[in-house]
Structure 1
Amino acid sequence: MDDVIIYCFDESEYLMVCNASNRLKLLAHFAAVKGDMNFKLEDQTESTAMIALQGPKAMEIVGALSREIPTLKRYRFVQKSLIVVKLIVSRTGYTGEDGVEVILGSSMARAAMGMFLKDVKSGQSPIRPIGLAARDTLRMEAGMPLYGHEIDENTDPLSAGLGFAVKVDKGSDDEKIGRFIGQTALEKIAKDGCARKLVGLGLEGRRSARQGMEVRQGSKVVGRVTSGCLSPTFDRPIAMAFVDANLIEVGTNLEVDLRGTAVGAVVEPLPFLRAVAKVSI
């Protein structure tokens, strides 16, 4: 359905951050499957905003404002107040770099961005605004799956390399815990093995692969590209693709069909690049 992050405030209060484009679909899904569960769901999408500060200097910058935030472990959060503004600050992000994501009221987002970027024009600030294209190259270098590319409603998390987030045997030793939607199907995949798996590809030349392009071995189609770009860090084309499970070994030679031109590609380990910062989890 989506790739989300769940914030747990206490045993009875949770916050789910989803992709904005999936919001209405998810609301309809929750309404359809809630059964006799009694809970209150509040859609805060339009009343909140998120600002992400990412990069090797992010925690140094944040540390000038708070001594507590730099001590957070990955995927942990804290609630803070800045004058009259309430913030949720988490050590998360979708770049592969260290950093934080800040959730605040949408009415204060412009002022918060102004605070972050106030010294940019003077050249005295290490902070620079970036768009989705830059974010996308960063998450590809970090080998991070993105909904609509590496994951969707027809892709299982085990094939996408997200098995760490799935407890396939949930409830097997305690019926009170219960099972989750799709668990039976995932149990079968875990037992039988994935037909295709997500891998990294390094391409020859300078042209980037695009989503949907065929991956071949000889004349046989053995997979499809999910994401691709010209990596700014490595100055060469990289891509992620689902390929037949017997072809995932690093160093396997394949080809990508770039609109009628076969270009050599080699299976590479994911992530392509690991952030320098070492952060406890």
Structure 2
Amino acid sequence: MSMAQTLHHSGVRGRLTPQAPLAPLVWFKSGGAAETLFEPADVADLQAFLRESDPATPVMALGLGSNLIVRDGGVPGVVVRLGKPFATVRRVDEVSLECGGGASGILVSSSARDAGIGGIEFLRSIPGTVGGFVRMNGGAYGREVKDILVEARVVLRSGELVTLSPAELGYTYRHSALPEGAIVVSATFRGEPAEPAAVQAEMDRIAAAREASQPLRSKTGGSTFKNPLPSKAWEVIDAAGCRGLTIGDAQVSEKHCNFLLNLGTATSADIEALGEEVRARVLKHSGTELEWEIQRVGVER
């Protein structure tokens, strides 16, 4: 009996899809299928599912798939996608919002604007969901999640629901100590009182800056490499002559060379190979060892 069938009989209320294609769900539009895709009905449904599934089965959360290469051989185990039931934002007090793990940066920042809360505008520019921001300590325009996070509610691989503080999440640059298989189901963010018009103006400024500098109308994965502080990744990539470099249909963006593009039918292998080629050229040119910021998951074909 397949895992999907076994789990189906155990009273799961969400949607279970065996061999679910992931390419349509990720920004690069490439890669293989999830062995099982689970879209839970609510937190309790996710907890029950994880409790009842074999502890050896790998579990991975998928948000908007903006910062992700799914390898062509697909992802073994279970991919959990927090859909509509988790795309919620609720005002907690004058300056705080409790946001579901499936809420997008645009939803969170516009809800903050409507509530007269400033300091959260930068989320407008991060293409992803709250779950991903919290896991990766997402940041842009001088702020990052650890600056605004009060606490996160996380379902562990065991099915246990825990509340974690920023200190417990062990934040560093684009990284948290969130354990393997843990899923962020909600987070509380705190800003400061602000006029909605001022918040909107800041969101507009951020959106315009992003539009001017980043290839947003393309199949891309966001920032490919972490900035090798104090330098910027795009600078060392450009200096190494990689702007516009291609492998198959994968290309280093001409507009912002820390972005990789799928020009059409690039495989995930093409995209990942291009990233590795960029890393090799940068290392040779400047001695800088670029670290991937984009997550690479699954197995090669």
Structure with greater contact order relative to length (CA < 8 Å, sep ≥ 6): 2
Larger proportion of helix: 2
Say whether the fold is shared (TM-score over 0.5).
no
TM-score normalised over the length of structure 1: 0.30
TM-score normalised over the length of structure 2: 0.28
